[in-house]
């Protein structure tokens, strides 16, 4: 288990190393600073998801840099929700419905700045469910199928890593309806099309010991 300070240092070093174009470093740093003020351990959660997603992307020959930044910013929309939802209490079903709005809020906040990362944020809780969240209409019309496919692949990695981190670190119960005797069973049920990603993410999570 790494300390908060070690985690922050690892993240800052990687932000510098990747040095993405388009102001993504500054957006990520600003988000982490803001979410670190009063949203419980959401900052550390985002940092761990970024590191895990980066590692899984590397293992599957996806774009590790894109996965890292999408992981860092996936919960951007939590900034517009009350901090009391993240204080560690077991939230009610009503509160959970409110919390779910963060995915689309994150998409809206980021889409004019970082389109790829925005889509990953918007998709990270509803990859295989209809009813809320994004549709193909939300993708820029001039994007190639290859880019759309990349968004969907990286979103799946973020989503799986997010679930693993919430399960292994969060004090509050997972209320999304997943039921199973163990983490892998729950993940396979939830991500039937991404069993390889699930297994690699579980392996990476064990090895990294975040
Ligand atoms: Fe989330
Ligand atoms: Fe998350």
Ligand 1 center–CA 75 separation, angstroms: 5
How many Å lie between the centroid of ligand 1 and the Cα of residue 125?
6
Find how far residue 54's CA is from the centre of its chain: 11
What number is the average pLDDT over the span 175-191? 77
Share of the chain above pLDDT 90, in %: 75
Cα separation, 171 vs 148, in Å, equals 35
**17 alpha carbon – ligand 2 mean position (Å):** 24
Q: Ligand 1 centroid vs 180 CA: distance in angstroms?
A: 20
Whose structure tokens read 């919430």? Answer: 166
DSSP-assigned states of every residue in 29-92: HHHHHHHHHHSTTHHHHHHHHHHHHHHHHHHTTS-HHHHHHHHHHTTGGGGGS-GGGGSSS---
CA of 169 to the centre of ligand 2 (A): 11
4-208 in CATH: which number? 1.10.3210
How far, in Å, is the centroid of ligand 1 from the Cα of 50? 13
Nearest to 134 by CA among 77, 182, 191, 94: 77
- Per-residue pLDDT tens over the stretch 59-94: 999 999 999 999 999 999 999 999 998 887 888 889
**Å from CA of 45 to ligand 2 middle:** 7
Instruction: Spell out which residues have Cβ within 5 A of ligand 2, the ion.
Output: 75, 162
By mean pLDDT, which of 25-39, 52-66, 74-88, 166-180 is the weakest?
166-180
């Amino acid at each position: 288990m790494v300390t908060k300070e070690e985690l922050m240092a690892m993240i800052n070093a990687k932000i510098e190393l990747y040095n993405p174009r388009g102001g993504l470093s500054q957006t990520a740093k600003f988000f982490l600073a803001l979410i670190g003020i009063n949203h419980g351990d959401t900052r550390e959660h985002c940092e761990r998801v970024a590191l895990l997603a980066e590692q899984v992307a590397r293992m599957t020959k996806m774009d590790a840099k894109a996965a890292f930044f999408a992981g860092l910013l996936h919960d951007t929309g939590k900034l517009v929700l009350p901090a009391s939802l993240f204080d560690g209490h077991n939230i009610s079903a009503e509160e959970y419905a409110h919390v779910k709005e963060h995915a689309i809020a994150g998409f809206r906040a980021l889409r004019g700045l970082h389109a790829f990362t925005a889509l990953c944020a918007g998709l990270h809780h509803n990859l295989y469910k209809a009813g809320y969240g994004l549709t193909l209409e939300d993708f820029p019309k001039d994007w190639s199928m290859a880019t759309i496919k990349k968004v969907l692949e990286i979103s799946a990695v973020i989503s799986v890593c997010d679930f693993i981190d919430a399960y292994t670190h969060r004090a509050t119960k997972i209320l999304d309806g997943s039921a199973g005797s163990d983490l892998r069973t729950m993940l396979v049920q939830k991500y039937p099309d991404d069993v390889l990603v699930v297994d690699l993410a579980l392996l990476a999570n064990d090895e990294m010991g975040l």
